[in-house]
Each structure stands twice: as structure tokens, then as C-alpha cells.
Amino acid sequence: MSKNLLVFFIAGLTISGCKNNITEINGKLLNSLKNDYIILDELRADKLLSVDSVAVNDDGTFTFRRKIEFPSFYLLKTDNSNFLTMLLEPGEKVEITSYRDSLNYPVSLTGSKGTELMATYNNKLRETINKLSSLRRIYLDYVDKPEMYVITERLDSMAQSYLMEINMYTRNYIDGNINSLVSLVALYQQVAPGEYIMQPQNDMKYFVKVDSALWHLYPDYEPVKSLHDQVAEMVTLSGEQEGSESLSTGGYEAPEIALPNPQGDTIRLSSTRGSVVLLDVWAAWCSPCRRENPNLVKAYDLYHRKGFEIYQVSIDKTREAWMKGIEDDKIGKWIHVSDLKYWNSAVVPIYKIESIPANFLLDREGKVIATNLRGGMLIQKLAEIFDN
């Protein structure tokens, strides 16, 4: 997704299926004009595609019906400057009332959980933008006045407070909706053109967290693919976040992983908090990995009862090979997960995996304390932790 289109897409926030998967949008424009038209656009990877348009009835009402196979982003608009970003799911029946010149602030909205969540965020963001705008007006009132310097310092302090508040709200919003596509939208909100709330240099773990969750749930959805590529590029270029080379120095919280186990249940790396955890990346086709597995078994048998856990991620191609490797090496006693995507696995860019086996030893809070412990080195490190 191009940056320009992504900014356009999220600007609407800034300034399981029913029969036949038919989603219905019933709306009413207050103060509508004669010959008004309303347009429905679908967000694609690199463009917005107009998929339908209808004439608004004399009483301001309109209706769209569209077959939707999976959760997708749409824009309901009168023109390119007046639109509502919607997250529509198969079979939803959406009811919207809005003034014709402010679609992005609906008077009422029901029937679409994703769109309702984005509208809630939009209201909070509008409050912040209004606060910042009021500071600007005060600043302009004091331009060229003797007390301007003191006033400017106070205004800057208040502005930073407002920005910190919306940043924390956005973080909590993402945490509370991590498995929803609305979390992707939240990553790119702005309080002014070019002024993003979430900054990769400060909030990288949230980009990684959203990518990890959504890549598992919607790997074929184009906006999620675009985020995945962007996060991989961020990880490569940045040296200040959890997925970078700084992981090898220790002290950084390990990025979240959320992948299915052999039974199909999603197991999060963060679910192991409270234990000392070896995050191990391997594959059944990897001979060095297979030779290392007996060492993991020995370490697990020695220290599991004392609070040691293994979270092992496979980058195998097939479930059959993965299951056979687990059975042959007798390693089914600990946590196993995989997205079966080979070197396209979600963990590869996040943890900068260039070869396997690769492992990260995490403390009870999920922070990296050692990497690539082989053979007796792992048991030696665990002895330092548990026996002392």
C-alpha cells in the first residue's frame, strides 16, 4: 500500500456471515439536497475502487447491498473530502444517520461493530484535535506580546500532555482490539497532516504486535499484507525496537507471537509470562535443529518444574512434516506453534531470523536475557537462574 493512499484511507478517522454474506447499509442523510448521490468505495492494496453508488431519496434515505466474503474496509462518501471509513463484515445490517456534510461523525450508527469501534476512536481523536486547535488560537492571540515566551512554554507543555494522552489511548485501544482490523487503522492516525500519533521509533512494539495478530488471522487481505511488508522493512531499518539486532544485546521485551498449535488453537508467546521461556525457532527439515532437540529435552526435564518453559516455533512447509518431527524427536511435552509458511513465517522478519536453529531466552517478564544458547550453554544458563 502506498503511503499516500494509506494516509488518505485513515483520514476518515482523523479530520461470522449471514445468508449469502450479503451486507446491507441503510442510511439517512440529514439536510440532504436534491439529486444527492452517495458512493461506496472498497479499499484495495494500492487504490480505492468505487464499487457502487446510489441516488439519495427525497427523505434523505439510501441503501447499499453488497456481498462480502470476509471483513473489509469501505468508504462511504459524497466526495473525496467527506467520507466515513467502515469495517464491514459478512451479513451485517448497518443503520447510519449522519449530516450530509459530516459523514465521518455519524449521529447514530448500529449494526457494524468494527465501524462503531472506529467511530468511538474518531470521537476521542476529535476531542484531542479540538484541544490542540484551541492552544493554537491562544498562541496567535499572544503573538508579539511581551508575555509570549512564557505563554509559549505553557502551551507546549499542554500540547505534549494532550499528545501523550491520545498516544496512551491509542495503545489501550489497540490492546483491547488486537484481533480486529481496527487496530491496523489506529496505527496511522494523525492529529495534523504528517503528525502521527504512533511513531515507529517510540511505538514499534505496537506495529509488530498488530502485524503478528492480523497476519495470522487475515494473511490474504491486501492491507494486512501491506502492513506485514512495512513492518518487515521497519525491522530491517530500525535498530531501536524489539525486532532489531538490539534483541541480541538483551533487555528488550520479546515481540508478541500469536500462532496456532497442532490442535489449531492460537497460543500467544505472552501467555507464558511468569516462566523463564526458551523461544526456539526450528524446522523438521533442519538437521542442526534436530541435533539440538535432545539438548532441549534435557533442559526441559531438569528445570520445567522450577518454572522453565519452551515455546517452539516451526517454519516447516507442511503439517505432516512438522508433526513427524515432533513425534520422532519426542518433544511433544512443550508448546509448539507454526503458521507453516516456511521462510515467509511471521516470526522471520520480526525476529530477524537468518538461519535456524535460533533461540531467545526470556525472563519471567518476557524480556530477552540471552540468545542462541546451544548444547550445554542452555543448561549452564538455566543453572545460573534456578540453582542460584
Give pLDDT tens digits for 121-158.
988 999 999 999 998 888 888 777 777 777 877 888 88
| Rg of the chain, C-alpha, whole Å | 25
**Sheet of 368-371, strands arranged across:** 335-337, 308-314, 276-282, 358-362, 368-371
pLDDT of res. 236: 57
311: left (phi over 0), alpha (psi -120 to 50) or beta: beta
Residues 242, 203 contacting (CB under 8 angstroms) = no
Task: Tell me the three state secondary structure of residue 143.
Answer: coil
pLDDT of residue 388: 66
pLDDT (tens digit per residue) in 198-216: 988 778 888 988 988 888 8
Low-confidence ranges of the chain (pLDDT < 50): 1-19, 239-246
Domains and CATH numbers, the chain: 3-113 (2.60.40), 121-224 (no CATH), 249-386 (3.40.30.10)
Q: 282-311: per-residue pLDDT in tens?
A: 999 888 889 899 999 999 999 999 999 999
Nearest 10 degrees: CA dihedral of 160, 205, 201, 123? -40
Residue 317 corresponds to which cell in the numbers above?
512447509
3-class DSSP state for residue 53?
Answer: strand
Location of C-alpha cell 496512551: 168
DSSP 8-state symbol, 265 = -
Q: What's the confidence (pLDDT) of residue 14? A: 44
206 touches 171 (CB < 8 A): yes
Whole-angstrom distance, CA of residue 122 vs CA of residue 117: 9
Helix axes 287-303, 319-329, angle to 10 degrees: 50
Contact 208, 256 (CB under 8 A): yes
Question: Residue 334 is which amino acid?
Answer: W
How many residues does this entry show for the chain? 388
Query: What are the backbone angles phi and psi of residue 381, rounded to the nearest 5°?
Result: -65, -40
